[in-house]
């Protein structure tokens, strides 16, 4: 099933300038300055942190999953991966990763995709797209639904088979696993801590994540 690339970080939590918990199912939107490093910690294991990025100087240039994977010629994200915007611009680089592999093909859940994937009755359930949209709504119209592109699913494993199939092999993360990325410019980060209760991505039990930021 392929290699997992694990790289530890030298940064200490007590030296972070920002350190907060994002509760299960909640959202978080925050701007990184050039050089700043964001760590996302999977506190209890197997929680999906659905994450989008924007060039804060040009918000219409959103994260691009396909520009990112085509740019590195590999569908998995890990330490060394450069996260690119739709224009091809380099937004951030993953600098540490104790999980070893993250997905960016599977996208986020939404009320509509839950209804298609599981049952029409799932339409009312809480979902990542609603979390994203609530966060976008707090930015005075600077961001709209049109800015919601396919995202990164930190701590998720969604392998593509050589035959072109798609599998969901979750359970690759563990309590305390983290991923760290350094921002190249001013970057807006939008996280939905996935409330998905229909698939085993978070063992049917969404749990909190922690976000920390260092100056560099």
Site for another protein in 21-40 (CB under 8 A): none
124 lies in the site for another protein, by CB under 8 A: no
- Rounded distance, CA 135 to CA 158, Å? 26
- 3-class DSSP state for residue 130? helix
Question: Whose CA is closest to 199, among 161, 165, 153?
Answer: 153
Residue 105: CB minimum distance to another protein, A = 6
Beta partners for residue 18, in sequence order: 213
Which one among 104, 182, 196, 202 touches Zn ion, defined by CB under 5 A? 196
Closer to another protein at the Cβ: 1 or 13? 1
Nearer to Zn ion, 108 or 187 (CB): 108
Q: What is the Cα Rg of the chain in Å? A: 16
128 binds, among Zn ion, another protein, none (CB under 5 to 8 A by kind): Zn ion
- What is the rounded distance in angstroms from the CA atom of residue 82 to the CA atom of residue 91? 7
CA nearest neighbour of 192 among 125, 121, 136: 136
- Structural tokens at position 121: 């009755």
Residue labelled with tokens 């209760």: 197
When binding is defined by CB under 8 A, the residue of 97, 147, 170, 180 that contacts another protein is: 147
Helix (H, G, I), strand (E, B) or coil at 72: helix
Q: Whole-number minimum distance, CB 171 to Zn ion, in Å?
A: 17
Which of positions 103-122 make contact with another protein (CB under 8 A)?
A: 105-108, 110-113, 115-117, 119-120
Interacting residues toward another protein by CB under 8 A? 1-3, 59-62, 64-67, 69-70, 73-76, 86-88, 101, 105-108, 110-113, 115-117, 119-120, 129, 144-150, 159-167
Interacting residues toward Zn ion by CB under 5 A? 108-109, 128, 194, 196
């Amino acid at each position: 099933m392929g290699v997992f690339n694990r790289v530890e970080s030298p940064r200490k939590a007590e030296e972070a300038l920002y350190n907060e918990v994002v509760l299960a199912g909640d959202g978080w939107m925050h701007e990184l300055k050039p050089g700043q490093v964001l760590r996302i910690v999977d506190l209890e294991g197997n929680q999906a942190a659905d994450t989008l990025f924007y060039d804060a100087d040009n918000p219409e240039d959103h994260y691009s999953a396909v520009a990112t994977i085509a740019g590195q010629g590999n569908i998995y994200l890990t330490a060394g991966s450069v996260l690119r915007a739709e224009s091809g611009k380099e937004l951030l680089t993953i600098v540490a990763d104790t999980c070893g592999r993250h997905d960016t093909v599977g996208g986020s859940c939404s009320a509509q995709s839950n209804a298609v994937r599981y049952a029409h009755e799932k339409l009312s359930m809480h979902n990542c797209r609603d979390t994203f949209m609530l966060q976008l709504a707090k930015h005075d119209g600077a961001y709209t639904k049109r800015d919601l592109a396919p995202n990164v699913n930190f701590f998720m494993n969604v392998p593509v088979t050589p035959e072109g199939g798609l599998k969901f092999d979750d359970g690759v993360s563990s309590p305390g696993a983290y991923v760290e990325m350094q921002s190249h410019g001013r970057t807006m980060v939008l996280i939905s801590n996935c409330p998905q209760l229909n698939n085993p991505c978070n063992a049917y039990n969404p749990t909190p994540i922690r976000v920390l930021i260092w100056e560099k």
